[in-house]
Amino acid sequence: MPIPDAEALITALADAMRPHVDPARTALVGIHTGGVWIAQRLQAALGLKTASGAIDVSFYRDDYSQRGLHAGAKSSQIPFDVDGAHIVIVDDVLYTGRTIRAAMNELFDYGRPAKVELAVLADRGGRELPIAPTYCPHVLSLPVAQMLALEKAEDGKLSFRLIEK
Amino acid sequence: MSPVRNTANPQLNAHGELQHLLTIEGLPRDVLTRILDTAAPFTEVAEREVKKVPLLRGKSVFNLFFENSTRTRTTFEIAAKRLSADVINLNINTSSAAKGESLLDTADNLAAMQADMFVVRHASSGAPYLIAQHLAATGRDHIHVVNAGDGRHAHPTQGLLDMYTIRHYKKDFSNLTIAIVGDVLHSRVARSQIHALTTLGVPEVRVIAPKTLLPTGVERMGVRVFNDMKEGLRGVDVVMMLRLQNERMQGALLPSPQEYFKSYGLTPDKLALAKPDAIVMHPGPMNRGVEIDSSVADGKQAVILPQVTFGIAVRMAVMAMLGGANA
């Protein structure tokens, strides 16, 4: 299976979102770490006025009682008023949907958004919750033993790498 | 056959995760660093509309305070509630212990009420360890114990919040000179601070106190001893004041609070001997005019109130790490 080209997917994702976002009203929230990188790129590509937020879902994960607290948790930062906002949650790869659920739970602790959408670069299948992306330029099917990891080079270029678990 | 001696740290489980927090002594540097790193994102939770995260939802945290404390009990309570735990406060000196119930009977009874965590403050050194040991011996090591101060032994969360505060203002431990000033003899806070500072690699830790308020052999903890405060404060980056523990004072260790203030009270004059950007810390409650001058306590270099705020985040981090460590 060819590994998807992350840079091309960012362009495609921005094109898919452009007709549906209002640069004056829409705000992005990236999920650490890959989602934050993509949100920064989309922010510029779409010319959004509101600075994007970043969320780390470590405190909201549903596997805490099995796996404990995730090491390396980062601060979440939402630099805009969530009440009434049009928010697009941004992540790199959509898989089980559990991270997105955790992110939505966390977001609602900041306020009540008017609308929440989901943008991802790729959907690898394997959903365990009724969650679907609003914007997704690439769909693929990966076995459980593999994961797609987004990496950032020194020059800021993003790329995917296939990891055998 | 000789009995197998268990040399493992009783605070860590088989995976090296923190199971109980009883003392900083003997904890590896990476565990301390992990606690401080974990506390950082919890400071942000306090700034949200909903100041809560769901980690300990459905868990019961029992604050077992066999000795009075307002601040420590309150900050543990806030920390547990911000983790969504149910918190039950027991002031045991007004409760069953007064009727003669033993420490372990109290623990057994609360364990039977499906406790998930005990936060223990006790006048006797080792009481939280005794409870943790008893829980392990009776197959209930899914219940976590946090020491909230035991006798003269340890006050690990205070030591950790102090380390968090130092790292917040000074960024790095490896170039610091730090002075701990006051009643080291009676202070569990000082013991936890010294263990934390030396473990984290602070090159020079000083203790400043009259000889009567220093434990014998304190040098063996890796500190430099000063009896003259002016000499000891020269060039330090951090001044950590201790409370003069009137309630623990027996016999004539001190001439009078006024005399003590003259020699060991932190005044603007004495503070001027430290580095210009030195920070002043105090675990509270402060005795103004005894160990610290009001103008210093309220001055620009004091970080005493940020210590309180950071204390909540550090206690959230500790409880979240314990609650997620499976026995």
Taking the domains of chain B in order of start, what are their residue ranges? 29-155+309-323, 157-308
Output the CA torsion B123→B178→B263→B228 (10° steps): 120
> Residue B1 has what pLDDT?
43
Q: Which residues of B touch A59 (CB under 8 A)?
A: 41-42, 45, 53-55, 320
Relative orientation angle of helices B156-170 and B188-199, to the nearest 10 degrees: 50
> Residue B99 has what pLDDT?
66
Query: How distant is the Cα of B38 from the closest Cα of chain A, in angstroms?
Result: 6
> Residue A133 has what pLDDT?
98
Residue B62 and residue B131: Cα distance in Å, rounded? 13
Residues 37-66 of B with CB under 8 A from A: 37-38, 40-45, 48-50, 52-55
User: How do residues A7-45 score in pLDDT, each as one tens digit?
Assistant: 999 999 999 999 999 999 999 999 999 999 999 999 999
Contact assessment for residue A144 and residue A115, using Cβ atoms and an 8 Å cutoff: no
The yes-or-no answer to whether B29-155+309-323 and B157-308 have a common fold is: yes
User: How do residues B264-296 score in pLDDT, each as one tens digit?
Assistant: 999 999 999 999 999 999 999 999 999 999 999
Residue A110 to residue B41, Cβ atoms within 8 A: no
> Residue B92 has what pLDDT?
79
Closest partner residue to B50 (CB to CB) among A68, A69, A109 is A109
Q: Which residues of A touch B55 (CB under 8 A)?
A: 59, 64, 69
Residue B54 to residue A58, Cβ atoms within 8 A: no
Q: What CATH code is assigned to B29-155+309-323?
A: 3.40.50.1370
Residue B23 and residue B21: Cα distance in Å, rounded? 6
ipTM of the complex: 0.89
Nearest CA in chain A to B47: A110
CATH of the domain at A17: 3.40.50.2020
Total domains, chain A: 1
B14 at interface of A, judged by CB pairs closer than 8 A: no
Residue A58 to residue B325, Cβ atoms within 8 A: no
Q: Which residues of B touch A66 (CB under 8 A)?
A: 326
Nearest CA in chain B to A63: B324
Contact assessment for residue B178 and residue B167, using Cβ atoms and an 8 Å cutoff: no
> Residue B196 has what pLDDT?
98
Please list, in sequence order, all residues whose beta carbon lies within 8 angstroms of the beta carbon of residue B219, skipping any fewer than 6 positions away.
B225
> Residue B5 has what pLDDT?
44
> Residue B148 has what pLDDT?
97
Answer whether residue A159 is part of any domain: yes
Quick one: average pLDDT of B107-125?
Answer: 95
CATH match of B157-308 with 3.40.50.1370: yes
Contact assessment for residue A86 and residue A31, using Cβ atoms and an 8 Å cutoff: no
Residue B308 pLDDT greater than 60, yes or no: yes
Answer whether residue A1 is part of any domain: no
Residue B324 to residue A105, Cβ atoms within 8 A: no
pLDDT band at B302 (very low <50, low <70, confident <90, very high): very high
pLDDT band at B2 (very low <50, low <70, confident <90, very high): very low
Please list, in sequence order, all residues whose beta carbon lies within 8 angstroms of the beta carbon of residue B174, skipping any fewer than 6 positions away.
B201, B202, B203
B326 at interface of A, judged by CB pairs closer than 8 A: yes
Nearest CA in chain B to A78: B48
> Residue B71 has what pLDDT?
86
Residue B98 pLDDT greater than 70, yes or no: no
User: How do residues A114-141 score in pLDDT, each as one tens digit?
Assistant: 999 999 999 999 999 999 999 999 999 9
Nearest CA in chain B to A106: B53
Which range marks the domain in which residue A110 is found?
A: 6-68+75-164
Residue B49 to residue A109, Cβ atoms within 8 A: yes
